[in-house]
Amino acid sequence: MKETLEKIKLQSIKDLESVQSRKELEELRIKYLGKKGELTQVLRGMGGLSPEERPVIGQLANEIRDYINEKIEETSYCLKRKELEIRLNSEFIDVTMPSKRKDLGNKHPLTKVQDEINQIFIGMGFTIVEGPEIEKSYYNFDALNHSKYHPARDMQDTFYFTEEILLRTQTSPMQVRTMERQKPPIRVLVPGKVYRRDEIDATHSPMFHQIEGLVVDKGITMANLKGTLDVFAKRLYGEDTKTRFRPHHFPFTEPSAEMDCTCSACMGAGCRVCKNEGWIEILGSGMVHPNVLRNCGIDPEKYSGFAFGMGLDRIALLKYEVDDLRLFFENDKRFLAQF
């Protein structure tokens, strides 16, 4: 039995020396140490030995098993290193190769201008809020002091679901919703989609975007309105921009005014963009009508406020000198990728 063990040891040394891969190594492990392995077989046969022989042979068998185990581990480590070396030599990275292109999107031009305007007003202490596009005619018209026969209420101008529910024609109803919810001081900016029954052409769309502003507090005057909107115009179009206010009429403000800015393309000299006027109309504004304050449970003897509303699409058209509104809504990537 002793000779058999010595033979196994010698044979295993030879075998392990010639191993080429980890697969072969595993096969050798099974050959010697597996359940049916050579060494295991010998150990099984130990039952037939005399009591004197048993510990001697047992010790020798254990030594050989430990030896083979150790050798296998050593060889495995060497093989792993060799494999890694081969991989590192055969694989390499060509840093001059062009990368795989991914189509990265960019912000829509309307979103970009909206973000810019939001930031200007956030800087002046306004909060951005949004409201429902499906609106009650009470908020869209009645509470905003529109008379029963105001032309904007006409079926030809407005999308109705029922007599009481419609697609909002302006963001102004959020003035009322805000004042109902919140007591002064109020400083909110309300961007959002609005809808009117307009035929689509280069300057009209049945869906477009407005931005509403509302400030209500004690002692708010027309000077606050002009100061705030003048700062806004300068931030948007540059410090040299001038503003002018023309009297106008809106049912929910009194007095009301439209604001023009000097054309940012020609700085007021007159050009194609401003149709040689030198000025561009930007927004409607005014002091919140006492009736509107009353409709919202705010005492007009104690509080006053100003409001304004502008068309985002128009501002973006002028800013980017785009001459057809439809381009903003057609989702042609060749157009949108330019911003």
Residue closer to ligand DAH (CB basis): 68 or 190: 190
Kindly report the backbone phi and psi dihedral angles of residue 124, in degrees, each rounded to the nearest multiple of 5, phi listed first.
-100, 15
Residue 332 beta carbon to ligand DAH: minimum distance, rounded to whole angstroms: 28
Surface-to-core class of residue 175, CB atoms within 10 Å of its CB (0-12 exposed, 13-18 middle, 19+ buried): buried
Residue 327 beta carbon to ligand DAH: minimum distance, rounded to whole angstroms: 23
Q: Using CA atoms, how far apart are residues 82 and 92, in angstroms rounded to an integer?
A: 17
Residue closer to ligand DAH (CB basis): 12 or 145: 145
Residue 235 beta carbon to ligand DAH: minimum distance, rounded to whole angstroms: 19
Q: What does the DSSP 8-state code read for residue 41?
A: H
Residue closer to ligand DAH (CB basis): 64 or 233: 233
Residue 119 beta carbon to ligand DAH: minimum distance, rounded to whole angstroms: 20
Residue 177 beta carbon to ligand DAH: minimum distance, rounded to whole angstroms: 13
CB atoms within 10 A of CB 263: 23
Question: Residue 73 corresponds to which tokens in the numbers above?
Answer: 């581990």
Give 27-32 contacts, CB < 8 A, sequence gap 24+: 28/72, 29/72, 32/8, 32/68
Which residues of this chain interact with ligand DAH, rule CB under 6 A? 170, 172, 212, 250, 253, 284-286, 307-309
Residue closer to ligand DAH (CB basis): 61 or 194: 194
Residue 311 beta carbon to ligand DAH: minimum distance, rounded to whole angstroms: 8
Question: Residue 134 corresponds to which tokens in the numbers above?
Answer: 């499906």
Residue 251 beta carbon to ligand DAH: minimum distance, rounded to whole angstroms: 9
Residue closer to ligand DAH (CB basis): 264 or 285: 285
Residue closer to ligand DAH (CB basis): 120 or 266: 120
**Cα dist. 124→110, 117, 127, 303, 311 in Å?**
22, 11, 9, 20, 20
Q: Using CA atoms, how far apart are residues 71 and 18, in angstroms rounded to an integer?
A: 12
The residue of the chain with the least Cβ separation from ligand DAH equals: 309
Q: Using CA atoms, how far apart are residues 287 and 308, in angstroms rounded to an integer?
A: 9
CA atoms within 13 A on the CB side of 328: 28
Q: Using CA atoms, how far apart are residues 295 and 76, in angstroms rounded to an integer?
A: 86
Residue closer to ligand DAH (CB basis): 75 or 169: 169
Residue 253 beta carbon to ligand DAH: minimum distance, rounded to whole angstroms: 4
Residues 43, 48, 51: CA angle, nearest 5 degrees: 95
Residue closer to ligand DAH (CB basis): 192 or 284: 284
